[in-house]
Chains A and B, each alone.
Chain A
Amino acid sequence: MQPPDAELIAQAKSGDKQAFVVLFQRYKNRIYAYLARYLRDEETAQDLTLETFLAVYNNLQSYTEEGAFLPWVYKIATNLAKREFRRKRIGEISLDEPVTESGNSTLGDMIADELNRPDHNAMKAEVVEILERALQRLSEKYRQAVLLCDIEGLTYEEAARVLNSNAKTVGTHLLRARKVLFKYLLKYKQDLRG
């Protein structure tokens, strides 16, 4: 049985590096996935994941919130990512841009099929890629809401804490983000038909 976060944190606080490594192993992939989707850059996401955990380690003594470890880590990761955005001036990407390098297939084409499938867990690799790319084309605040709530499974409250916002706002953003994504997909479906 895996020891709970609180126990590991307490041990890490008292200088037990092994305990921190367990925490790191437990959450590294989730943070990495979040950052990769948020930043749309795998390489930078890897760097920032490590940087995030380093910051977590260095600031462990100041961490006092009970049972909210993961949101705290997400928050640190988000702050580092925002800093990275400012530094690189990464802009938004339009959904109309060609998905593949050859440019003969659009995002809408691929998603149209997928929307009719009842079992999302068996999405085609191709569709996953399309959805990922669609996500990347969402505006930052919508993307954050989707990433934290739908993909990472945080509650509205937890996501709100990460984003320095409130649960209602996050909820609103999430609903709108899903609708925007849906509208994109619909648009491409109609385009496909037309």
Chain B
Amino acid sequence: MFPNMDEKTIQETMRGMLSALPGRELPEARTTVFIARLYKVSEERRRIIDLMPFARTRAFAAVAAMLICVIGYNYLLLPLSPVVVNATGTVKIYSARKNEWSFVGKRRVKLAKNDVVKTFDDGQADVMIPGIYQMRLKRKSEVRLARSISRLSSGNITYDVARGKVFTYYDKTRKTGREFELQTSEALVSAVGTDFMVEAAPASTWIGVLDGMVRVTGVSAQRLAGEAKAVLVEPGQKTVVRPGLAPEKPGRLMESELMDLEELYRIGTKPQVAILISSGRTRTRELLAATPLYVSSKKEGVLPAEMDKIIRTFNQAIKTRSKERYAENIRQFERLLERYPDPKYNVQFSLFIAAYYEHLGEHDKAIAAFRKVIEKYPQSSFASVAQCAIGIIYEEKLNDTAQAKFAYEKIISAYPDSPEVEEARHGLERLSR
């Protein structure tokens, strides 16, 4: 029968036999291993996935670190390039690298070592590393960058002043171990403090200091005598260095010279309103001796136009010593101050008004005005000036010993770090005699 089976039977028989074949079982050990592995695999996968951001972070960190290194190297170690800005008139720059002169114009020009900045008859330019120093070259001046610094280095910044007038503001407080030096043919001027002016004339070098302290060394004298002759020039003082001689003993700046130094306030970031007094111990007396008020005309809109006009009138009146004009203007000014209260400038204006009442001989009004300054601006560095002025007026003008003593003692107790302490001690000494 077997060979004679029909097609259908054959198919059915075979299908039946095949489907009846027993199944198989995957050994239990393999199953267990697989399940364990499955859990482990998913752990690993998760770990890999978890690691991805870390890997990315690491790559990112590496790139960032490299960037920081490059930027840090450039930022901290490469020499800082001073820039020449605010050039007016004819100003030329000599590039030591290119060995050529070029006009500055309105551009901002970076200075490299040995580059020279030269101002002509009508020229003026500011040279600065913002935040470290600002220097103004007046007309017919020439300086060469002899040495610059990096942010990290503690070396000296040196300019050779060939000729002309250079105003300098140097922020000594920012970094110690750094010196700012101006070198003329006759003098080496090092900034121990901040605001000063150097004028290199063919025969001599004149140095005036408004703020801080400056060390002046006679260069040619040093060469001749083989020893350094240096003087320290304090705020409100000046000195002159002549060929072959040591610097002169510092003397007081004349009022006209102080007014010349007012230009320092126009450089860089100095306040736009300033009373032209030095920051030294003599400043109270400078204030009481009719000091001009300086208002920068550069920034338009800082002060109302009518206020600006009054200040000009004041300054004109000081120059011409016309007391009548003060009296008329001072009341106008007081009224204006009430209309434009600007905390940035009011302390200067208030001090100015008080000083002018005193100048007019109106001592009571002056004392009241100075008291107002102390009352309104107790945190200002001018508070001690106002207190000292009260003491001086009581002592010298009103002959009120008790009030004067009280005022001086208050300086010593309330402003022990101010330059006025010395003046107060002298005053107390005089009064106790």
Stretch at the interface among B19-27, B80-88, B109-117, B305-313: B19-27
B25–chain A nearest beta-carbon distance, Å: 5
Contact A36/B2 with A21-B38, A115-B13 known, Cβ cut-off 8 Å: no
Asked if A29 contacts B18 (CB within 8 A), the reply is: no
Contact A131/B31 with A21-B38, A116-B2, A179-B10 known, Cβ cut-off 8 Å: no
CA distance A123 to B22 in the complex (A): 10
CA distance A131 to B19 in the complex (A): 11
The one of A25, A54, A181, A186 that contacts B2, using a Cβ cutoff of 8 Å: A186
- Scan residues 296-349 of chain B and give those whose CB is less than 8 A from a CB of chain A: none
- How many residues on the A side are at the interface (Cβ–Cβ under 8 A)? 41
The one of B15, B17, B27 that contacts A46, using a Cβ cutoff of 8 Å: B27
Is A146 at the interface (CB under 8 A from chain B)?
A: yes
Max chain A CB contacts within 10 Å: which of B5, B17, B34, B37? B17
List chain B residues, Cβ under 8 A from A135: 18
The one of B15, B35, B41 that contacts A24, using a Cβ cutoff of 8 Å: B35
Is A182 at the interface (CB under 8 A from chain B)?
A: yes
Q: Interface residues of A: mostly helix, strand, loop or mixed?
A: helix
Is A120 at the interface (CB under 8 A from chain B)?
A: yes
- Scan residues 1-57 of chain B and give those whose CB is less than 8 A from a CB of chain A: 2-3, 5, 7, 10-11, 13-27, 30-31, 33-35, 37-39, 41-42
Q: Please give me the residue from chain B that is nearest to A20 by CB atom.
A: B38
Is A30 at the interface (CB under 8 A from chain B)?
A: yes
List chain B residues, Cβ under 8 A from A2: none
- Scan residues 136-194 of chain A and give those whose CB is less than 8 A from a CB of chain B: 146, 150-151, 153, 175, 178-179, 181-182, 186, 189-190
The one of B11, B30, B38 that contacts A178, using a Cβ cutoff of 8 Å: B11
B229–chain A nearest beta-carbon distance, Å: 86
Q: Interface residues of B: mostly helix, strand, loop or mixed?
A: helix
Contact A33/B23 with A50-B30, A57-B38, A175-B11 known, Cβ cut-off 8 Å: yes
B5–chain A nearest beta-carbon distance, Å: 8
Asked if A32 contacts B26 (CB within 8 A), the reply is: yes
Asked if A123 contacts B3 (CB within 8 A), the reply is: no
B13–chain A nearest beta-carbon distance, Å: 7
CA distance A20 to B13 in the complex (A): 37
Asked if A30 contacts B23 (CB within 8 A), the reply is: yes
List chain B residues, Cβ under 8 A from A132: 21
Asked if B15 contacts A33 (CB within 8 A), the reply is: no
B98–chain A nearest beta-carbon distance, Å: 65
Asked if A46 contacts B13 (CB within 8 A), the reply is: no
Is A128 at the interface (CB under 8 A from chain B)?
A: yes
Asked if B26 contacts A150 (CB within 8 A), the reply is: no
B185–chain A nearest beta-carbon distance, Å: 84
Asked if A178 contacts B2 (CB within 8 A), the reply is: no
The one of B20, B23, B34 that contacts A29, using a Cβ cutoff of 8 Å: B23
List chain B residues, Cβ under 8 A from A190: 3
CA distance A21 to B24 in the complex (A): 19
List chain B residues, Cβ under 8 A from A53: 34, 38
A73–chain B nearest beta-carbon distance, Å: 14
Asked if B19 contacts A153 (CB within 8 A), the reply is: yes
Asked if A49 contacts B21 (CB within 8 A), the reply is: no
List chain A residues, Cβ under 8 A from B34: 24, 28, 50, 53-54
CA distance A153 to B191 in the complex (A): 100
Contact A182/B10 with A50-B34, A128-B21 known, Cβ cut-off 8 Å: yes
User: Shortest 3 CB-CB distances between A and B: which pairs?
Assistant: A178-B14, A150-B18, A33-B24
Task: Name 11 extra pairs, CB < 8 A, besides A21-B35, A50-B34, A128-B21.
Answer: A17-B38, A24-B34, A28-B34, A32-B24, A50-B33, A121-B20, A132-B21, A146-B18, A151-B19, A178-B11, A182-B10
Q: Which residues of A contact B (CB under 8 A)?
A: 15, 17, 20-21, 24-25, 28-30, 32-33, 36, 46, 49-50, 53-54, 57-58, 114-116, 120-121, 123, 128, 131-132, 135, 146, 150-151, 153, 175, 178-179, 181-182, 186, 189-190
Q: Which residues of B contact A (CB under 8 A)?
A: 2-3, 5, 7, 10-11, 13-27, 30-31, 33-35, 37-39, 41-42
